[in-house]
Amino acid sequence: YSPSGLYFYDGLEFYIDNEMVGQYSPDENGNTPWVFSSFPVESGTHTFTWSYIKDGAGGATDMEEDCSWVDYITFPPASLGDDSVLGDMNGDGSVNVQDIVMIINMVIGNTDVDLNADINYDGAVDVLDIVLLVNIILGS
């Protein structure tokens, strides 16, 4: 996200199921760098709402002074399946080095890509998924 506006008065609010979980505004110098945020949710139906809050002092959105930007929203798959375990690529019920080898083979092109190997749900199977799977195995 990246909010624009006046420090303290304007900003962006983020709600999940009508509960505010994030509130963002420019810093005291008016800077609005891009910031990454992540909000885990339970499976099921949810409502995500982003609201720009304006103080009423005026401003011009045509100059991008009173607005917010939200980019690169990623949602995990609706379901991993009843018996699926995140990272269990070979379906043996456990996550181990064999699963890492399978994802490595996908990344280097030795086998077809299976999007179930997309551990971070970014739409690609790459080294980041391997690192995440190693962290799952190590418990970190």
- Tens of pLDDT, residue by residue over 99-140, are 999 999 999 999 999 888 998 888 889 999 999 999 888 886
Phi-psi region of 17 (alpha: psi -120 to 50; beta: other; left: phi over 0): left
Residue 9: predicted pLDDT:
67
Q: Where are the alpha helices (DSSP H) in 2-126?
A: 97-107
Helix-helix angle 97-107:127-138, to 10 degrees:
170
Q: What is the pLDDT of residues 19-61, one digit of tens each?
A: 999 988 877 777 777 877 888 888 778 899 999 887 755 555 5
Residue 77: predicted pLDDT:
58
- Asked which of 57-66, 72-81, 97-106 is least confident by mean pLDDT, the reply is 57-66
CA 120, CA 128: separation in Å to the nearest integer? 8
Please tell me the pTM assigned to this model: 0.50
Question: 50 pairs with which residues across the strands?
Answer: 14
Task: Give backbone dihedrals phi and psi of 79, rounded to 5 degrees, phi first.
Answer: -160, 140
Q: Look up residue 20 and give its two tokens.
A: 């505010």
Residue 45, SS3?
coil
Residue 12: predicted pLDDT:
86
